[in-house]
Amino acid sequence: MTEQIGQSWPASEQFWRNRRVVVTGGAGFLGSFVVEKLQARGAAEVVVPRSRTYDLTQEAAIVQLLDDARPDIVLHLAARVGGIGANREHPADFFYANLMMGTQLLHQCWRAGVEKFVAIGTVCSYPKYTPVPFKEDDLWNGYPEETNAPYGLAKKMLLVQSQAYRDQYGFNSLFLLPVNLYGPRDNFDLETSHVIPALIRKCVEARRRGEREIVAWGDGSPTREFIYVEDAAEAILLAAERYNESLPVNIGSSYEISIKELTELVARLTGFEGTIVWDTSKPNGQPRRKLDVRRAQELFGFSARTTFEEGLRRTIDWYLRSTEPVAHT
């Protein structure tokens, strides 16, 4: 991990030892890894609110959560998310849920005297045509890609709010912009999943059924950057420990791959040897995504460690184990 010369940060265990932490979305994909890392670092208490008890779109539920948990730090990972298809089907739901959760939670954390608030944004907040690699200073230079703009803009309001509350109240809140995540425990539902779990499931199921083709969306030309979920979880905790400003910070791996190359790689790693059919009636999404990740290195010493192929192998292995047909005796 790269650290600036002369930079001195407290040990992780020392930082978390006496702090109570609320992790919204802590039972989800990314959140489950964040919670495990917090426990390994010796956090005094980690609270994971569940939606059946605390509906974070409701102000009263947020107030109750903060009264019950009395956190020192809140890591806001909860989000209504999905792939291109889900974003096209539910743009209003995605906008409302993400805006209401974030806006009210940050406000009530300030009112409750929470020490630090870490907001997790999304790469979907960037303009559709952003110079590559995406730099944080380009966030406001255009409108996001249309299929996920409602989600991306709702999350970007947390950046505006973070900066406004720091300027007016001195509230210590951060805004991080992770690129697309992947890894074990991801959502593999074909209706709502992102591209990597969708491709893994399609290839594995086709191989198990003896099918000779899979269908992929678009024409394969767009490029994407992905970050392994454990690396993203580490970035969030390092930011919480070491960073105390409201400048937005990209969280990524700096590795770019086309959807066509990705699909072929997933097919190879899953053992699918059939044909890939490209459904060009489906949208491609944003043409390119690759982040400039220097700010994360400079401000809190984060660099992704997991190579893309190694991360894919771990993800595929997990999916194969979790979906292995049960043998009847």
The neighbour count for residue 158, using CB atoms within 10 Å, is: 28
Task: Indicate if the pLDDT at residue 268 is higher than 70.
Answer: yes
pLDDT tens readout for residues 180-199: 999 999 999 988 888 999 99
**Dist. CA 102–CA 73, nearest whole Å:** 15
Establish whether the linkage from the previous residue to 133 is cis, with ω within 30° of 0.
Answer: yes
The pLDDT, as a whole number, for residue 82 is 74
Taken in order 30, 33, 39, 42, the sign of the CA dihedral is: negative
User: Which member of 54, 96, 143, 151 is catalytic?
Assistant: 151
The residue with greater pLDDT, 283 or 290, is 290
The pLDDT, as a whole number, for residue 126 is 95
pLDDT tens readout for residues 99-142: 999 999 999 999 999 999 999 999 999 999 999 999 999 999 99
The pLDDT, as a whole number, for residue 324 is 85
Nearest CA to 63 among 130, 114, 137, 122?
Answer: 114
Task: Indicate if the pLDDT at residue 326 is higher than 80.
Answer: no
Question: Binning pLDDT at 50, 70 and 90, where does residue 32 land?
Answer: very high
Average pLDDT of the residues in 266-275:
97
Average pLDDT of the residues in 229-239:
98
Task: Indicate if the pLDDT at residue 75 is higher than 70.
Answer: yes
In the block, residue with structure tokens 């956190």? 71
The pLDDT, as a whole number, for residue 6 is 43
The pLDDT, as a whole number, for residue 88 is 85
pLDDT tens readout for residues 300-309: 999 999 999 9
Task: Indicate if the pLDDT at residue 5 is higher than 70.
Answer: no
The residue with greater pLDDT, 171 or 324, is 171
The pLDDT, as a whole number, for residue 305 is 97
Query: Residues 32, 23: contact at Cβ < 8 Å?
Result: no
Task: Indicate if the pLDDT at residue 48 is higher than 70.
Answer: yes
Contacts of 149 (CB under 8 A, 6+ apart): 91, 124, 143
The full set of domains in the chain, from first to last, is: 12-184+226-256+289-306 (3.40.50.720)
The residue with greater pLDDT, 269 or 8, is 269
Average pLDDT of the residues in 161-186:
97
Average pLDDT of the residues in 264-279:
97
The pLDDT, as a whole number, for residue 1 is 38
Average pLDDT of the residues in 57-78:
98
Identify the top-confidence range among 17-21, 87-91, 322-326.
17-21
The pLDDT, as a whole number, for residue 72 is 98
The pLDDT, as a whole number, for residue 42 is 96
Tokens of 194: 């992102």
**Dist. CA 242–CA 114, nearest whole Å:** 17
The pLDDT, as a whole number, for residue 327 is 57
Taken in order 45, 50, 53, 58, the sign of the CA dihedral is: positive
Is there a catalytic annotation at residue 151? yes
Work out whether strand 173-178 and strand 223-228 pair parallel, antiparallel, or are unpaired.
Answer: unpaired
